[in-house]
Amino acid sequence: MYTVLEFGHMASDGVRMHAYATAIARTVKPGSVVVDIGAGTGIFSLLAARAGARRVHAVDLDPAIWVLPDLARENGVADRITIHHQSSLELSIPERADVIVSDLRGSIPLYEAHLESLRDARTRLLAPGGTLLPKQDRLMVGVVEQERLWSELERGWRGFEDRGLAAAAARTAILNYPYNDDGRPVATNQVLTDAKAWAELAYGEDYPRVYDRTVELTAQRDGTAHALALWFEATILDGITYASAPGSSMVYKRMLLPLLAPVRVTAGEAVKVTVRMDVTGERWAWDTAIGGQRFRQSTFLGKPTSPEALLREASTYVPNVSARGERAKRALELMDGKRSVQEIAAELGGTPAILDEVRDYVRRYGR
């Protein structure tokens, strides 16, 4: 969930907005049907309506979408924008769209259900010959010098060591985790190597479950490497592009995958990097051969968990329903169109915590 202010900041990213606004003006024609997935407070919907769209379906799970009806009224387009406060994965519309516009990326485009949402929208909601905005993204990697990141990470285990305690487990977890450069943006001159693409996402095509590529980079100057930086080059429509590269001050951040230790590199030296990531951006692995050392890292080591929780993640695990699950089952049965939330909660025990729980079931599964 974002605040209305955060959506406002997205809408004030001039580079991003110029690209999207140009692409919307070029593709949305008078009479077009447009779906705006992840509309937020609806900047793309408003632009599409202003370009002459006959119907704009603005879709978002975030309640901030309820600012859009007022914004639409202020802009004289309220009669052409339909609000869908839900996931696009559950959206059905009476006619297919000529244009589907979205920006569901996090710091990089492999983020939550981004790709699945766009695959679903392309196959179910887009008219034959319709246009997807954005068209494609290229994910880039380079090695960076980032003293500030490193000292921040180091502080995560130093507190233990300062008191004479060993802290290898904390250090391992801290260094096997992805960060972004919020608050300490990577500058252009902090990129030590050239940058190469480690994945291409074409939104009009199917995608693999895992992206995995090895690239050979070359150090462009002497320096100390602290992390891999990841960013993307977007093509919103042919000829309309931008990049969230180091040095850019866009709303997107650079992802930073720390190395296991700072490493001195000299100009001309080769660095071999493998980046592996699942489509949801949940699981990462990165292998780096640099300065005569080899680091194999993974978020598997960076997200502490218990053996039991790990077992429960396996698709072969045979689960039983918990006490809370039993309550959820009963609550769903009681949601029969005859009982109020208060009455359902009373049947389940009636405590304030149960009332909150029932409200949550109603939010998720009620209508």
Ligand X SMILES: C[S@@+](CC[C@H](N)C(=O)[O-])C[C@H]1O[C@@H](n2cnc3c(N)ncnc32)[C@H](O)[C@@H]1O
Binding site for ligand X (CB under 6 A): 2, 7, 10-11, 37-40, 43-44, 59-62, 87-89, 103-104, 113, 117
Alpha helices in 180-299, H assignment, sequence order:
none
Least distance in angstroms from the C-beta of 214 to ligand X: 30
Identify the three-state secondary structure at position 103.
coil
Neighbours of 304 (CB within 10 A): 10
Name the minimum Å distance from CB 110 to ligand X: 13
Nearer to ligand X, 3 or 189 (CB): 3
Q: CA 358, CA 366: separation in Å to the nearest integer? A: 10
d(CA 101, CA 40): 12
Residue 94: CB minimum distance to ligand X, A: 18
Return the number of the residue (37 or 125) whose C-beta is nearest ligand X: 37
Q: Which residues, at least 6 apart from 60, have a Cβ–Cβ distance to it below 8 Å?
A: 37, 38, 39, 40, 84, 85
Instruction: State the nearest-atom distance from the C-beta of 117 to ligand X, in Å.
Output: 4
> Is 44 or 198 the residue whose CB approaches ligand X more closely?
44
Reduced to 3 states (helix: H, G, I; strand: E, B; else coil), residue 79 is helix
Nearer Cβ to ligand X (206/308): 206
Looking at the Cβ atoms of 120 and 194, the one nearer to ligand X is 120
Which residue of this chain has its Cβ atom nearest to ligand X in the complex? 38
* Residue 50 C-beta: closest distance to ligand X, Å: 15
Q: In whole angstroms, how close is the CB of 134 to ligand X at the nearest point?
A: 11
Is 162 buried (19+), middle (13-18) or exposed (0-12) by CB count in 10 A? Answer: exposed
User: Please, which residue, 101 or 228, has the CB nearer to ligand X?
Assistant: 101
CB-CB contact of 184 with 142 (8 Å): no
Token representation of residue 121? 């929208």
Strands of 97-102's sheet in order across: 81-84, 55-59, 33-37, 97-102, 126-133
